[in-house]
């Protein structure tokens, strides 16, 4: 196991991806350092060093990477569809600083490998065809993701630069997730994505149950355990630079997702109302999983109904719903 005994930094360990990644690496015997900023860890990780740091500051980045073998950067400023549409630059400035400063600090510290978590939203539109890794720079991102997409692309270019284009190279991995869902996700309507928001509305038995958009938007959902397994398998690949989709390779509509949630949670008499006048993001976002299958032998194995069942069970036993806000959108 390449992770046993290694000193590994997870930047952004209080978030959804960072929390699940920390739990998985702890089980693999890693020596973890976990950064938090404004939010505490969602769960204690035995033996981990927890460091509070503002990763928009170069001195903080240098401090947290010191002595680390590997770095996983999952720290990011994120938000939901309504915020992306109304204030697109909210994703840009803090994330450009975090991504750039963390890469530079890791390189200066002699980190052996760096992982950046990108996004499928950075791809150009391909209508209803799944997008492949080689198409990332074939056109602009969809207009609603223009700013956030180019921010992710810039970080990807930096990752490749550190891995291939300088004298003292640092291997890097870029993973491009589809819509990840599962325990420890964000269920606050102000920042949650479609699956978590729908789960919360169903559990709260909201009447009417309002959904922004038509419900016909198509998304590729991948359960968090599958995503983390694919991420760690990709990290173990000995290549100077690798960019890889991590997805299920299957599409389902928002209506289908909601129907599954209603069925799993037994909400048989829900009054569902779709509001086409309210903003969603893009009609179809599908990703191709061929490269991950061929290179890693990786495929997502958790059926949607089972992943939703586990997520709902976790939410009922752990979550503390916050304030009411806008209905969910994709």
Structure tokens at 166: 């300088």
How high is the pLDDT of residue 322? 40
- Rounded to whole angstroms, the Cα distance separating 285 from 249 reads 11
How high is the pLDDT of residue 330? 45
How high is the pLDDT of residue 1? 73
More reliable by pLDDT, 77 or 276: 276
How high is the pLDDT of residue 222? 98
Would you place residue 177 in the very low, low, confident or very high pLDDT band (cuts 50, 70, 90)?
very high
How high is the pLDDT of residue 323? 33
How high is the pLDDT of residue 281? 75
**Fold classified for 186-220+250-285+304-318:** UDP-galactose 4-epimerase; domain 1 (3.90.25)
- Rounded to whole angstroms, the Cα distance separating 140 from 134 reads 14
The full set of domain ranges for the chain reads 7-180+221-246, 186-220+250-285+304-318
**Average pLDDT rounded to a whole number, residues 204-224:** 95
Of all residues in the chain, the percent with pLDDT exceeding 70 is: 93
Tokens 């503390």, residue located = 320
More reliable by pLDDT, 95 or 80: 95
Residue of 5, 13, 78, 63 lying closest to 42 (CA atoms): 13
How high is the pLDDT of residue 107? 98
Would you place residue 192 in the very low, low, confident or very high pLDDT band (cuts 50, 70, 90)?
confident
For residue 179, list its beta bridge partners: 221
Would you place residue 220 in the very low, low, confident or very high pLDDT band (cuts 50, 70, 90)?
very high
> Strand, coil or helix: what is 287?
strand
Q: Is the pLDDT of residue 30 over 90?
A: yes
**Average pLDDT rounded to a whole number, residues 65-91:** 80
How high is the pLDDT of residue 325? 35
Would you place residue 18 in the very low, low, confident or very high pLDDT band (cuts 50, 70, 90)?
very high
- Rounded to whole angstroms, the Cα distance separating 143 from 141 reads 6
Q: What is the pLDDT of residues 112-145, one digit of tens each?
A: 999 999 999 999 999 999 999 999 999 999 998 8
**Fold classified for 7-180+221-246:** Rossmann fold (3.40.50)
How high is the pLDDT of residue 279? 67
pTM for the model: 0.93
How high is the pLDDT of residue 58? 98
Lowest mean pLDDT among 192-196, 251-255, 311-315: 192-196
How high is the pLDDT of residue 302? 98
Q: Is the pLDDT of residue 307 over 60?
A: yes
Q: What ranges make up the beta strands (E) of the chain?
A: 7-11, 31-36, 49-52, 70-73, 113-117, 172-177, 179-181, 209-212, 218-219, 221-223, 241-246, 252-253, 272-275
**Average pLDDT rounded to a whole number, residues 29-45:** 96
**Average pLDDT rounded to a whole number, residues 268-295:** 92
């Amino acid at each position: 196991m390449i992770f046993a005994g290694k000193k590994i930094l997870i930047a952004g360990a209080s978030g959804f991806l960072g929390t699940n990644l920390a739990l998985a690496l702890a089980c693999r015997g890693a020596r973890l350092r976990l950064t938090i900023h404004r939010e505490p860890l969602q769960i204690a990780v035995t033996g981990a060093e927890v460091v509070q740091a503002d990763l928009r500051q170069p001195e903080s980045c240098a401090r947290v990477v010191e002595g680390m073998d590997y770095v996983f950067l999952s720290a990011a400023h994120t938000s939901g569809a309504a915020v992306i549409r109304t204030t697109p630059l909210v994703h840009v400035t803090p994330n450009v600083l975090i991504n750039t400063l963390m890469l530079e600090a890791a390189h200066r510290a002699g980190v052996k490998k760096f992982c950046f978590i990108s996004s499928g939203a950075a791809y150009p539109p391909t209508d209803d065809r799944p997008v492949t890794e080689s198409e990332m720079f074939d056109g602009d991102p969809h207009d609603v993701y223009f700013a956030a997409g180019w921010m992710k692309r810039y970080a990807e270019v930096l990752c490749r630069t550190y891995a291939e284009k300088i004298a003292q190279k640092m291997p890097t991995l870029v993973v491009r997730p589809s819509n990840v869902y599962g325990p420890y996700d964000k269920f606050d309507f102000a920042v949650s994505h479609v699956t978590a928001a729908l789960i919360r509305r169903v559990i709260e038995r909201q009447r009417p149950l309002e959904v922004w958009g038509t419900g016909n938007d198509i998304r590729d959902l991948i359960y968090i355990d599958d995503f983390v397994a694919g991420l760690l398998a990709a990290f173990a690949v000995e290549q100077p630079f690798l960019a890889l989709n991590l997805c299920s390779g299957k599409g389902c509509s928002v209506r289908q997702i909601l129907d599954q949630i209603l069925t799993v949670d037994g909400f048989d008499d829900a009054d569902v109302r779709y509001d086409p006048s309210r903003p969603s993001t893009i009609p179809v976002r599908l990703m191709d999983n061929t490269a991950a299958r061929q290179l890693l032998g990786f495929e997502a194995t958790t059926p949607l109904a089972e992943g939703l069942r586990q997520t709902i069970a976790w939410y009922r036993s752990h979550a503390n719903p916050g304030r009411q806000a806008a209905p969910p959108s994709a």
